[in-house]
Amino acid sequence: LGARRRVGEQKKYELLGGLLPPGLDDQSCDSRHQSVHYRKNMTRSPTPYLIMRLRQQEILQRRCGPGTEPYTRASQRLRSGQKNVDAVDGCSYLVLLSHRGLGNRILATVSAFLYAMLTDRVLLVDRGKALGKLFCEPFPGTTWLLPLDFPLEGYKDLGEEAAESYENVTLGNNTGPSSEHRFVYIHLDHAARAANRLVYCDDHLQFLHRVQWVFLRTDSYIAPSFFLNPVHQKELDRMFPRKDSVFYVLSRYLLHPTNGVWRMVTRFYDSYLKDADERLGIQIRVWDGDRPFQHILDQILACTAQEHLLPAPGVVASAGGAFAGARGRSKAVLTTGLNGWYHDSIQEMYRRSPPASGEVVSVHSHEKHQRFFQVEHDMKALAEMYLLSMTDQIVTTGWSTFGYVGAALGGLTPYIMMKPKNRVAPNPPCVRSMSMEPCNHGPPYFECTRKEYHKVFHTGNTVPHLQSCEDIPWGVKLT
Ligand code: GDP
């Protein structure tokens, strides 16, 4: 890039409201600088308080992160099992373990980052197979990747039964002062036992805060449930006066695709999406296996018709209808999914019968066949999430974390397709989401004031801005 262009980019980038730290304008992460040219202006600005907290977190990450003396001491203590340490050096750690698909992992990462900020911990992420190839380092002058020589044996296999699980250390007979624990493992998989969800209500100052190492495994966007804990409410209110964009703002800060992923994004966007007057994303996730199903195609088309997102093929729009005056306008449709049949069918439909409204519809897909957990496939999948986020309107599939991320990254309020029952397209086929926020699939089913975890009590609607999700009634989302 020419020097003048870089200065221009730097200026725009500062206009992000100071969200990103200075000192990261190297060439190793083009997306950090170039995304302003591809993404819409931020519709929600970070508050000065949040920006100040982000800068504090960066200082903590640098002071205690891998390669520093405090980190070396802390990891030696972990290896040796030395107790009674009380977070010497003022450094304590949250290690996020890699779990499930890419959408799950991204939701977990953003949630873990917020939890680390709320509890003054250094966030370290287990890279799994691909993390380092997917995202740039977010914090200047340090790494967020858990070192490969991390000294705790078997940490990747920690599960609900572990002696160190929150349930076992708080409810079992092996309690004792928290500083007695070498580490604590938080298990917040969507199907975690109720007792493990008690951690959502942990009065951090009394127990967890004296544990130097905390390991977290989750497959969900757990952030909404932090709002249920009275201990965090004041801080969360200061960080996020608006609750409908927590993921959106934090992801703009934290997640920057690597150059390899970003090249896929920009190449595709420039070729197929850039010049269209409007862009529509359709994220298709089929839970019955990735076979072609007519009822799913019917549902997609019923949704796009109901919401006037696509013109009817070969039918004259009524005067004053949604597409009157659309003649010559171009609409680019990006479909994503694991089976190309849906894409091909929609494309073929418009090829055979172009809309009588005169609108020009082109249908594109980035990648039709995917395999789980391979680095290159994760890169392509991430590129697709970003491409979805760059559309103007988006239809997503309920329950899918892939769709949650695609919509929320772009600050898009999706039309969510409900799960079909008995292989019949549901009616209505889709509903407009209440907000751009992802759904938390496994919140606590009790109030923090009572902690009655043996009973089931739905927490949606119990605090302002937390509602039951459209697609999963027992889930909660911020609005
Ligand atoms: P979820 O299962 O829909 O909640 O979302 P995940 O991201 O966890 O999906 C599991 C995996 O399936 C992802 O990691 C991807 O590898 C793959 N996958 C699912 N949907 C898509 C898609 O639309 N495009 C691509 N490229 N991969 C997908």
pLDDT greater at residue 372 or residue 256: 256
Rounded to whole angstroms, the Cα distance separating 439 from 436 reads 9
Token digits for 201? Answer: 């209500």
Nearest ligand 1 atom to the CA of 336 is 23
The string of DSSP letters for 215-259 reads EEEESS--HHHHTT-HHHHHHHHHH-SS-TTHHHHHHHHH--B-H
Nearest ligand 1 atom to the CA of 101 is 8
Question: In the chain, where does the domain assigned CATH 3.40.50.11350 lie?
Answer: 259-312+323-436
Q: What is residue 150's predicted lDDT score, i.e. its pLDDT?
A: 94
Q: Per-residue pLDDT averaged across 44-49, rounded?
A: 92
Mean pLDDT lowest for which of 5-19, 114-128, 139-153, 435-449? 5-19
pLDDT digits (tens, 9 = 90+) for 2-46: 555 555 555 555 557 789 887 776 678 999 989 988 988 888 889
Domain 259-312+323-436 has CATH 3.30.360.10: no
For the cut 90, the answer to whether the pLDDT of residue 270 exceeds it is yes
Q: Per-residue pLDDT averaged across 427-432, rounded?
A: 97
Centroid of ligand 1 to alpha carbon of 103 (angstroms): 7
* H runs (alpha helix) in 284-400: 294-306, 340-352, 375-389
Q: What is residue 130's predicted lDDT score, i.e. its pLDDT?
A: 83
pLDDT greater at residue 462 or residue 73: 73
Centroid of ligand 1 to alpha carbon of 287 (angstroms): 11
Token digits for 364? Answer: 């594109």
Q: What is residue 320's predicted lDDT score, i.e. its pLDDT?
A: 46
| Pocket perturbation via mutation, ligand 1, pick of 102, 109, 284, 394 by most ligand atoms within 8 A of CB | 102
Nearest ligand 1 atom to the CA of 405 is 7
Q: What is residue 175's predicted lDDT score, i.e. its pLDDT?
A: 52
Q: What is residue 368's predicted lDDT score, i.e. its pLDDT?
A: 60
Q: What is residue 448's predicted lDDT score, i.e. its pLDDT?
A: 86
Q: φ, ψ for residue 454 (rounded to 5)?
A: -80, -20
What b/e string do you get for 311-333 counting C-beta neighbours within 10 Å, with b at 16 or more? bbbeeebeeeebbeebeebebbb
Centroid of ligand 1 to alpha carbon of 379 (angstroms): 11
Centroid of ligand 1 to alpha carbon of 43 (angstroms): 27
Token digits for 161? Answer: 């039964």
Find the residues whose C-beta lies inside 6 A of ligand 1. Answer: 100-104, 283, 285, 336-338, 367, 370, 372, 377, 380-381, 384, 400-402
Residue with tokens 């994220």: 283
Rounded to whole angstroms, the Cα distance separating 188 from 176 reads 23
Centroid of ligand 1 to alpha carbon of 107 (angstroms): 13
- For the question of an ipTM over 0.95, the answer is yes
